[in-house]
């Protein structure tokens, strides 16, 4: 009976601390998204903004690896058994994608636009079983566009 009680206490602690860490990460993501909202990012191949001359282009990327906690793995195992959507993994992938795009934007804060956004996702297995997900890696990359400044040129003497 003691082992079941200890298991339930540890499971409860894992759930509480996992939810706390996830909500803290979501708050951090939302605050940083508000700061970088002025930098448009699109999957289009052509600029959507100004038709000014392009002064510089640069490949930019951001990546993140986020681990799955044991509580989410246990819930996913139950969902695999009974069927249905695995919401625990959906929030994990949402956080990872948003974090990767934010890191990409933070790598070029003075860019005017980011074009051709692509997101790659891969799972990193843990242990000998290949169907278990240990963590998720997300890579976001695109082309940062810097327009030439429209400052007037002084006439040469």
Q: Report the C-alpha gap between 136 and 133 in whole angstroms.
A: 7
Answer yes or no: is pLDDT of 69 > 80: no
Q: Report the C-alpha gap between 87 and 75 in whole angstroms.
A: 9
Task: Give domain 2-147's CATH number out of 3.40.50.720, 2.70.70.10, 3.40.640.10, 3.30.110.70.
Answer: 3.30.110.70
Q: What does the pLDDT look like over 25-67, one tens digit per residue? A: 999 999 999 999 999 998 988 888 667 788 889 999 999 998 8
Partners of 139 in the β-ladder: 63, 120
Q: What does the pLDDT look like over 72-112, one tens digit per residue? A: 777 777 777 777 777 777 888 899 999 999 999 999 999 99
Q: Where are the domains of the chain?
A: 2-147
Which has the closest alpha carbon to 42: 156, 148, 142, 151? 142
| pTM for the full predicted model | 0.78
Q: What does the pLDDT look like over 112-136, one tens digit per residue? A: 999 999 999 998 876 655 556 678 8
- 14 or 44, which is more confident: 44
């Amino acid at each position: 009976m003691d082992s079941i009680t200890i298991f339930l206490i540890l499971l409860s602690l894992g759930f509480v601390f996992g939810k706390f860490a996830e909500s803290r990460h979501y708050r951090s993501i939302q605050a940083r998204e508000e700061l970088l909202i002025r930098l448009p990012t699109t999957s289009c191949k052509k600029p959507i903004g100004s038709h000014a001359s392009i002064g510089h282009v640069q490949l930019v990327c951001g990546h993140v690896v986020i681990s799955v906690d044991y509580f989410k793995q246990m819930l996913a195992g139950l969902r695999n058994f009974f069927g249905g959507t695995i919401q625990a993994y959906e929030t994990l992938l949402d956080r990872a994608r948003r974090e990767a795009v934010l890191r990409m934007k933070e790598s070029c804060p003075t860019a005017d636009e980011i074009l051709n956004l692509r997101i790659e996702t891969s799972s990193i297995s843990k242990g000998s079983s290949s169907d278990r997900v240990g963590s998720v890696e997300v890579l976001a990359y695109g082309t940062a566009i810097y327009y030439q400044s429209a400052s007037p040129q002084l006439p040469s003497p």
